[in-house]
Structure 1
Amino acid sequence: MSRVWNFSAGPAALPEEVLRQAAEEMLDWHGAGMGVMEMSHRGKEFMSIAEAAEADLRELLAVPASYRILFMQGGAIAENAIIPMNLLGDRKVADYVVTGSWSQKSQKEARRYAGVNIAATSEAGGFTSVPAMRDWQLSDDPAYVFTCTNETIGGVEYPFEPDLAQIGRAEVPVVADMSSHILSRVIDVSKYGLIFGGAQKNIGPAGLTICIVREDLLGRAMPLCPSAFDYKTVAEAGSMYNTPPTYAIYIAGLVFQWLKRQGGVAAMEARNIAKARLLYDYLDGSGFYENRVDPACRSRMNVPFFLKDESLNDAFLSGAKDAGLVQLKGHKSVGGMRASIYNAMPIEGVAALVDYMKAFAARHG
């Protein structure tokens, strides 16, 4: 069997070590005589898996004791509704910083449940940067400020951690969609009221949503909020209020163990910096390809790029597939190409991509 270099934006590549371990344990997990996907979510075997996954994630991100980790379902798109239903409380307005396709979708969904104030947006510049915090215009009494700290489609990543104390609004909780870069860089969880993300990029298979929520934000859910999506209910039930995505939690737990063996998040961040630099340096110097994102706001995880002669797009993708480089086509809303280089992508895969891009440019330049 020959595995390809998979640059998919999600569901994305998983560490090969994790896949091999899961394969070995498929029929019999640690002598249980059954596989994880066959286990009761309330049985001692699976409970031990879930508890270890939560403990390892808490360790990897240095999550303070005053935060709860929730294993939920519905993905980040469902959270766009779940968040206002849980956090609006007795307030009427939530503030949104719009930096690309996903935060745009988030604010549109929130309008079904709350008044929305656009505190800042980079739309006028084509969503190629992140507005500086000094330019954020918060409303008088927002329930929260929503951010998408890495825009998977546009390849825009916050070059700073939002700290509302810098603009005199420390009392307002920051919500962050970190779906596509969680665990790829060191973060200060205490700067956020809620961090969430779909697992299918840097954590595991689709079906699992991670939420890290500050305890004082629990218990504010609207009466119309479904019980299974009420953060307080889920927290009190230890993420077992309803049957959770058990196999996805198991795989996530294996990924967390793999990350610890790699040296943790700080070590992964150093690798991600090196991978991104290798690709961006070539793009910038090639004269054949271009990345249109402000260099200060370029994502380390999702690298969109364009051929200057876009009539060659199909040939580029066909040749890449023949070379074992797949899932490079850009999102349909923006076109071009996109290489997603999450934690599981080794630098050898990025080097293989750069070598192919050089050879293609030499043939067609």
Structure 2
Amino acid sequence: MTRRVHNFNAGPGALPLAVLERARQELLNFQGCGMSVMEMSHRSKEFEGILDRVESALRRNLGVPDDYAILFLQGGGSLQFAMAPMNLYVPGRPIDVLHTGSWTAKAIAEMKKVAAYRLAASTEPQKFTRLPRGEEIEWNLQASFVYLASNNTIEGTQWQTFPAVGPPVVADMSSDILSRAVDVSRFGLIFAGAQKNLGPAGVTVVVLRRELAERADKNLPTLLQYRTHIKERSLYHTPPTFAVYIVGLVMDWIEAEGGVAAIEQHNAAKAKLLYDAIDASGFYSCPVEKSDRSRMNVVFRIAGGKAELEEKFAAEAAAAGLVGLEGHRSVGGLRASLYNAVTLEAVEVLVAFLREFERTNG
């Protein structure tokens, strides 16, 4: 096999090697049925069996209560920016938004087209280098729902504990779902594009308290109503069948690794190793306040933000087999995404590269 690189891309991100190998093994003939999952009818008993298994595994690994539906949709998190307010907004009850970065800004841009909202808190004045403190949040207890992004991939922040509040909480967990244990019952709706921790691009998982789906106006387009997909079990139209299948393989891998608790410990160890190396250096720096640092996306700068050195770092790292370390184009700098499938060995290699680059360029 051609040498595989250490993949630190922010998304699509790394997939477990065991998942890729199993997908390759089953690619031409899925469990003796004579065809690939990519070829089979979504109405076939084979695919319905896949869908049942994936839903059950997600429910088990996430700890999803019985009064919640699990949906496999399309359109990514970007569609959910509009679909959630279209279905859950109650006129006269503005949505409370916790604005913490670029992805909540994109959500607001869609939300305001279909609903009223207010900023319950924003850390834009702090350049999104931290999350709102409890005393800074001005809640409206009559809000239709509270909106937040659990992890901010561009800014490198992550909610370590979630606000306790009366209205339902809608959370974009696209970049940290299944990276740690979460009490699903504290949320009204969770959505996640698969391409970071769940599987490949193409499928979006929505976990929704069923009763909330009944808020939607029945005159909404059929495809844009959660109740449609609940009723039809994500088979109202052709779902992204192969992507759903890969999500199932990722669920198997998580359980083989010891479950979400083991994954959480693994992620904590990876993040600590990298942050400790950055903090111990006078050459690298992380702009994020320590209490709010993300375990998924470690952002850092060189010599206070020397662009030419950062470009050199990323290029030399890629040549050494460490790919995807450029910061987001909107902010620059460097970023290492440590999603579930990124190994501790990969982070150890990265830390060794950091030290060598500092030695030769510091």
Fold in common (TM above 0.5): yes
2:323 counterpart residue number:
326
1:167 counterpart residue number:
none
Is this contact kept in 2: 1:92–1:142, CA < 8 A?
A: yes
Change (3 A) 1:269 1:134: same
What is the identity, as a one-letter code, of the residue corresponding to 1:114? A
2:28 counterpart residue number:
27
2:201 counterpart residue number:
206
1:194 counterpart residue number:
189
1:219 counterpart residue number:
214
TM-score (norm: length of structure 2): 0.97
Partner residue of 1:347 out of 315, 337, 344: 344
- 1:224 Cα offset (Å): 5.4
Aligned pairs, number: 359
> Is residue 2:342 matched to residue 1:364?
no
Is this contact kept in 2: 1:330–1:337, CA < 8 A?
A: yes
Deviates most, 133-142 or 239-248: 133-142
2:333 counterpart residue number:
336
> Is residue 2:278 matched to residue 1:277?
no
Q: Distance in 2 between matches of 1:326 and 1:178?
A: 24
1:284-295 superposed matches below 5 A: 284-295=279-290
- 1:223 Cα offset (Å): 4.8
1:161-310 superposed matches below 5 A: 161-164=162-165, 170=166, 172-223=167-218, 225-308=220-303, 309-310=306-307
Q: Distance in 1 between matches of 2:343 and 2:242?
A: 25
What is the identity, as a one-letter code, of the residue corresponding to 2:226? Y
1:62-77 superposed matches below 5 A: 62-77=63-78
What is the identity, as a one-letter code, of the residue corresponding to 1:37? M
1:126 counterpart residue number:
127
Paired residue secondary structure (1:311): helix
Is this contact kept in 2: 1:129–1:156, CA < 8 A?
A: yes
Paired residue secondary structure (2:46): helix
Q: Distance in 1 between matches of 2:108 and 2:217?
A: 18
- 1:202 Cα offset (Å): 0.2
Is this contact kept in 2: 1:186–1:266, CA < 8 A?
A: yes
Paired residue secondary structure (2:117): strand
What is the identity, as a one-letter code, of the residue corresponding to 2:204? T
Q: Distance in 2 between matches of 1:238 and 1:115?
A: 30
- 1:92 Cα offset (Å): 4.3
Provide Cα deviations, 1:166-225, integer angstroms capped at 9, x if missing partner: xxxx2x100000000000000000100001110000001111001000011012223553
> Is residue 2:16 matched to residue 1:15?
yes
What is the identity, as a one-letter code, of the residue corresponding to 1:24? Q
Deviates most, 139-148 or 350-359: 139-148
What is the identity, as a one-letter code, of the residue corresponding to 2:80? E
Identity of aligned residues (%): 47
- 1:228 Cα offset (Å): 1.5
Q: Distance in 1 between matches of 2:311 and 2:223?
A: 45
Provide Cα deviations, 1:206-247, integer angstroms capped at 9, x if missing partner: 110010000110122235532122111100100101111100
- 1:311 Cα offset (Å): 2.2
What is the identity, as a one-letter code, of the residue corresponding to 1:237? E
- 1:139 Cα offset (Å): 3.0
1:113 counterpart residue number:
114
Is this contact kept in 2: 1:82–1:225, CA < 8 A?
A: no
Paired residue secondary structure (2:170): strand
> Is residue 2:59 matched to residue 1:58?
yes
Provide Cα deviations, 1:42-62, integer angstroms capped at 9, x if missing partner: 100001111100000100011
Is this contact kept in 1: 2:91–2:115, CA < 8 A?
A: no
Q: Distance in 2 between matches of 1:299 and 1:55?
A: 29
Deviates most, 44-53 or 308-317: 308-317
What is the identity, as a one-letter code, of the residue corresponding to 2:99? V
What is the identity, as a one-letter code, of the residue corresponding to 1:338? R
- 1:109 Cα offset (Å): 1.1
Q: Distance in 2 between matches of 1:224 and 1:316?
A: 53
Is this contact kept in 2: 1:91–1:141, CA < 8 A?
A: no
Q: Distance in 2 between matches of 1:62 and 1:141?
A: 28
1:85 counterpart residue number:
86
Q: CA RMSD in A?
A: 1.1
Paired residue secondary structure (1:219): helix
Q: State the 4+ residue runs in structure 1 displaced beyond 6 angstroms.
A: none
2:42 counterpart residue number:
41
Q: Which runs of 5+ in 2 are unaligned?
A: none
Q: Distance in 1 between matches of 2:13 and 2:345?
A: 17
Q: Distance in 1 between matches of 2:313 and 2:221?
A: 47
- 1:275 Cα offset (Å): 0.2
- 1:111 Cα offset (Å): 0.3
Q: Which runs of 5+ in 1 are unaligned?
A: 165-169
